[in-house]
Amino acid sequence: MDKVKALKQTPLFGSLSEDTLVKLSEKTSEKFLKTGEMVFLEGEEAKGMYVIVSGTIRAMRIGADGREQVIHTERAGATFGEIPVFDGGLYPSTVVADEDSFLLFIDKKDMHQLCYEYPEIALAALKVLSKRLRYCASLIESLSLKEVSQRIASLLLEEARQRKPNENSIEFKLTLTNQQIAARVGTVREVVSRSFTRLQQDGLIKLQGRNVKLLNIEALASFEKFYIVSQNK
């Protein structure tokens, strides 16, 4: 069965035996989503969590003016909606499919039982949440202490890292729209656009349409970390 294979791929359930995975997979229910469809809304009652078999999702919050801030994104093999499973509360953010996606739903109670029966699952979940917490802490830092162009620099470096591991000049196609970048980085479309042109003027990147070339990764990384504004007069 396909579901079993999918569960096997995840960091959460990868440690389980074939048999156990079969039993688990029988308890899951399936959910198909088209791009843009919502999985759940912030504040909704939560009955369980999701595993992404294929596709990608974003978890986000929406401000009073309608602006969107992405909290985290997840792709195939990852899970989301775990928080209410472990602390009993409501879903902490709204989740939307960023591509057509196939999800498995796992009930709260089943998950608890698994954690008691197989401590390695609890440990794996702890690892997943820890990584997420790291990411959130960095996002907090950059929202509070860094400028937009620095945040964009780090997004570009991260995108690059996910493609080719390590060269000193990397070129790739941006799959994100400026609007999506803005929502991740905590600004608006126009500012993203201007930041790109500024990074280009400063010789850190080269743009041609949606094609980005990081001209000097070293410099970009140090810009991301250390750039300080005019200071005093």
Partner DNA sequence: AAATGGCAGTGACTTAAGTCACACTTGGAG
Partner DNA sequence: CTCCAAGTGTGACTTAAGTCACTGCCATTT
Contacts to DNA by CB under 7 A: 65, 67, 147-149, 177-179, 186-191, 193-194, 196-197, 207, 209-210, 229-232
Cβ-based nearer residue to a second copy, 124 or 170 = 124
- Interface with a second copy includes 137 (CB under 8 A)? yes
Check binding of 116 to a second copy (CB under 8 A).
Answer: yes
Nearest-approach distance from CB 77 to a second copy, in angstroms? 17
Is the CB of 26 or the CB of 141 nearer to DNA?
Answer: 141
Q: How far apart are CA 201 and CA 127, in angstroms?
A: 41
Please, which residue, 79 or 178, has the CB nearer to DNA? 178
Q: Which residues within the stretch 181-210 sit at the binding site for a second copy (CB under 8 A)?
A: 186
168, interface contact from DNA, a second copy, none, CB < 5-8 Å by kind: none
User: Is residue 41 close enough to count as binding a second copy by CB under 8 A?
Assistant: no
Told to check if 61 binds a second copy by CB under 8 A, we report: yes
Interaction of residue 220 with a second copy, rule CB under 8 A = no
- Smallest distance, DNA to C-beta of residue 53, A: 25
> Which pair of structure tokens corresponds to residue 25?
């997979």
Contact flag: residue 129 with a second copy (CB under 8 A): yes
